[in-house]
Structure 1
Amino acid sequence: MSLTCELDPVLDDEVRDGVLALWTDVSNAGGAVGFVPPVTADDIRPDLEYGIAEVAAGRRRLLLGRDEDDRIAATAFIGYNSHRLMGHWIWLHTVMVHPAHQGKGYGRTLMAAAESVARTLPGVEAIRLTCRGGSGADHFYAACGYKEVGRVPGAIRVAPGDDRDDVVMLLTL
């Protein structure tokens, strides 16, 4: 089983609906992608539309992963820095793999594809991302070569009395 990654897919209804369904499923499975379950597609749609608008404006790119049945199974948004002193690194946002495909290597394939894209971007020397502490995501990103470079204790409140660290990670290219 493999994941096929595509950069800058046509943002048609199939892609929009597929990413929305993926984001909803990942969130409801407890994935740390900006929401806490339970959520509906209507809860997530404004964030997706924001991401799509950023792509349309040229400030982000969409990396889309499809499974062997050509279904949308993984995504990441690659974000450019608009600050003139930070153009030498990019952001990786909303990295997710469908729960049905976790443990199959899809996450590593997606991260390798993001790194490959970054290496083609003029002047880009690093990829930066943040993740929710306590989710295990930091261990996954470390296994992909990222180093923890910062941590804000308790910055993410997932529920009353349940605050998580915001972990900053960097991959130098």
Structure 2
Amino acid sequence: MALSFELDPATTPALRDELLDLWVDVTNAGGSVGFVPPVARDDIRPELLKHLVAMVEGRTRLLVGRDEDGTVAATAFLTHNTHRLMRHWVWLYTVMVHPRHQGKGYGRDLLAAAEDAASGLDGVEAIRLTCRGGLGLENFYASCGYKEVGRVPEAIRVAPGDDRDDITMLRPLPRLAA
């Protein structure tokens, strides 16, 4: 069954808790979303609050994918670029699919929904994201139309002696025929 996606849902305490639980579950399953397992809710809460503040300030948009039970199963944050020369693309951050839903094509569905959301933003022509090397994530993103446009070797230290590349990927948005 497919996920249902919503851009900019009402940020209720229940949604905030679901986002926090998703982030914890994804991280503890080995997902590369800014933390290294093991984590608890209190470890991630400050970072989630930064995302929520950016939403209130209008800098970030939240895309939520819900499963057939209505539970948050996937998320991504689209963040506007504030630099005057780079407003034609957005950042895609904290791309997550709950571990129990991985392998069902929901990651591709989430990226397609993010592309649809970004295409609806005035003047946006591309999506950029970064991913952690060493996990094959760049191959997944490439299969979804993203192109590697930059790599900083060993920029991410997940543990002493375990440094990973920071990979930047770009997805130009399809242009609508005039």
TM-score (norm 2): 0.96
Partner of 2:67: 67
Partner of 1:116: 116
Structure 1: unaligned runs, 5 residues or longer: none
Deviations 1:35-89 (A, max 9, x none): 0000000000000000000001000000001011110100000000111000000
Deviations 1:135-168 (A, max 9, x none): 2211111111000000000000000000000000
Amino acid at match of 2:100: A
- Structure 1 residue 121: deviation in Å? 1.1
Aligned equivalents of 2:16, 2:78: Cα separation in 1: 17
Aligned equivalents of 2:144, 2:121: Cα separation in 1: 20
Q: Which runs of 4+ in 1 moved over 4 A?
A: none
- Structure 1 residue 118: deviation in Å? 1.0
Partner of 2:176: none
Partner of 1:56: 56
Identical-pair percentage: 67
Aligned equivalents of 2:84, 2:3: Cα separation in 1: 35
Query: 1:91-110 to 2 correspondence within 5 Å?
Result: 91-110=91-110
Deviations 1:90-110 (A, max 9, x none): 000000000000000111111
* Alignment RMSD: 0.5
Structure 2: unaligned runs, 5 residues or longer: 174-178
Aligned equivalents of 1:77, 1:37: Cα separation in 2: 21
Amino acid at match of 1:160: P
- The number of aligned residues is 173
Aligned equivalents of 1:71, 1:91: Cα separation in 2: 25
Aligned equivalents of 2:40, 2:56: Cα separation in 1: 24
Aligned equivalents of 1:139, 1:4: Cα separation in 2: 25
Aligned equivalents of 1:84, 1:143: Cα separation in 2: 31
2:45 aligned with 1:45: yes
Query: 1:145-164 to 2 correspondence within 5 Å?
Result: 145-164=145-164
Aligned equivalents of 2:88, 2:24: Cα separation in 1: 32
Partner of 2:139: 139
Partner of 2:20: 20
Query: Aligned with 2:166: secondary structure?
Result: strand
